[in-house]
Amino acid sequence: MSGWTLREATEADLPALLELHQDYHRELQAFGMPYDLKPDGLEEALRLRIRSRLILTAVAQGEDGSLAGFVVCSILRLANEYLCEGCGSVGYLNDLYVIPALRRQGLALELTGMAEDWLREREIPTMQLQVLQNNPAAHRYWQRAGMGPVGTLYDKKLVK
């Protein structure tokens, strides 16, 4: 995708990243995300993600300095009692977002590829993610990106 640079996010990206993350969450809620965003703690959460060695927070930046999207991918270390052959650590793609005006141009695939490369460099054997059931475009995207369904996540609110 020409005109865009993929790079790891820095704390200087926080204002734009906050705005993108809020847009992303509003979109997720339209597809049935059952959780509200906690705006008070979002900036600090993003700052911690940017600083973490076990989390990749990357952005797509245009020539004009604007951000077109982001990907967040983390490494989950599994407890020894749950270990199975070859899965002591798992890559988890937490978030992927591209602004609507720039979708369907390959930017999401490039951000996904960056996350996959980051995990491979750390010898993480597999990557997982969750997709909202009511988001058919996301299901199609992830299947085209080589992902396949493994199970179904159920959710129930226990406290109001």
Q: What is the pLDDT of residues 66-124, one digit of tens each?
A: 999 999 999 988 766 666 666 678 899 999 999 999 999 999 999 999 999 999 999 99
Structure-token pair, residue 20 = 């993108």
Find the angle CA(108)-CA(113)-CA(116) to the nearest 5 degrees: 130
For helices 14-30 and 39-51, angle between their N-to-C axes, nearest 10 degrees: 120
CA distance 107 to 35: 27
Interacting residues of 119 by C-beta distance below 8 A, sequence separation 6+: 73, 75, 91, 127
User: Cα(142)–Cα(19) distance, rounded to whole angstroms?
Assistant: 24
Domain 4-144 in CATH 3.40.630.30: yes
Residue range 50-72, pLDDT digits in tens: 999 999 999 999 989 999 999 99
Residue ranges per domain, the chain?
4-144
- Confidence class for position 29, pLDDT limits 50, 70, 90: confident
Average pLDDT, stretch 16-34? 90
- Flag whether pLDDT at 37 surpasses 80: no
